[in-house]
Amino acid sequence: MVLEVAVGRMGQSARMARADIAIFTNIAPAHLNETTTPRDIATTKSAIFQGMAPGGVAILNRDMQEWDVVHAAARKHGLKIVHYGTTGHCEYRLLDYDAQHRRVHASIGGRAVTYAFKAAGKHMALNSLATLAAIAALGHPLEPALQQLADFVPLPGRGEEHRLTVGGCTFDLIDDAYNANPASMAAAFANLGSRAGQGRRIAVLGEMAELGAEARRFHTELAPLIEANGIDRVHVFGALYEDFWTSLPNARKGCHAASLAEIKQVFLADLRDGDMVLMKGSNSTRLHTLVADMKDSCRN
């Protein structure tokens, strides 16, 4: 059984779940209030170890923010620690990700392994290594899992891809509209930027929720990532993007809308054949309803 445990009441949930294996994919600014920090989130999430018996396995992203907090907590509870990531300290190490051919090149226990992985993005390739680490920790062979990974596709709102025709324009859509934080935004931009094609790379962004007192700064700091990843056009909505918008090069500006309805109107009018479009924002922005509307229009 695989469970995703919410950060709220983590200690209580952990004692109920009594996990044998815990995976930490990342610690990022999320679920913050006016006084908490990512370090506080790391401490709260580490309470999952309270429900684990000594000798259980903690699979940790060695590259994640606040790794030291989580690592210390896992050691305190007597867990076996397995690392994955991009550094030489990792038992499951990502050596390279071929975005064009969707192939992962990794070192697993010092052995070079290459496998197909249908889901797009370096962040998803890293997640696949965490999955393989869990399978090995359970005592299962990796070869059948590698075959399964070749057919894995992301879920709706979590990176699912579609080719849609709306208003006479055919374009590719990356539906990542279920949720957002600074780390997942950066990963989504890198995925969009890695796509080669004839059309433009467009990002349609809603605000990131629950970022506490520094929410505006976290939005502003996304601006350099747009140019760094070669994203051609950006449409955003929400007041938290005001400084972001000022920092963005004029050539990459689509619209800074005040509402979802406005951004829908401008975005659809701006679409061209061959565009690659990323939709991403926190669930509370309801950007996912725009995705649903476009998918429904293609069915009718």
Residue 292's domain is classified under what CATH number?
A: 3.90.190.20
Answer yes or no: do 260 and 291 share one domain: yes
Whole-number pLDDT of residue 30? 66
Tokens read off for 270: 């701006």
DSSP 20: S
Whole-number pLDDT of residue 31? 63
Can you say whether the dihedral through the CA atoms of 96, 97, 99, 101 is positive or negative?
positive
Answer for the pair 84, 59: CB distance below 8 angstroms, yes or no. yes
| pLDDT per residue as tens digits for the range 88-130 | 889 999 999 998 888 999 999 999 999 999 888 899 999 999 9
For residue 251, is pLDDT > 90? Answer: yes
* Within-domain flag for 62: yes
For the chain, give the percent of residues with pLDDT over 90.
66
Residues whose CB falls within 8 Å of the CB of residue 88, separated by 6 or more in sequence, listed in order:
none
Answer yes or no: do 15 and 140 share one domain: yes
Answer yes or no: do 136 and 206 share one domain: no
Answer yes or no: do 141 and 212 share one domain: no
Using the 3D structure, point to which of 118, 149, 180 is the last residue of a domain.
Answer: 149
Domain extent for 213: 160-299
| pLDDT per residue as tens digits for the range 55-85 | 999 999 999 989 999 999 999 999 999 999 9
The rounded distance, in Å, linking the Cα atoms of 239 and 74 is 40
Domain of 46, CATH number, reads 3.40.1190.10
In the block, which residue shows the tokens 């070869």? 143
Q: Domain total for the chain?
A: 2
Answer yes or no: do 164 and 141 share one domain: no
The rounded distance, in Å, linking the Cα atoms of 86 and 90 is 7
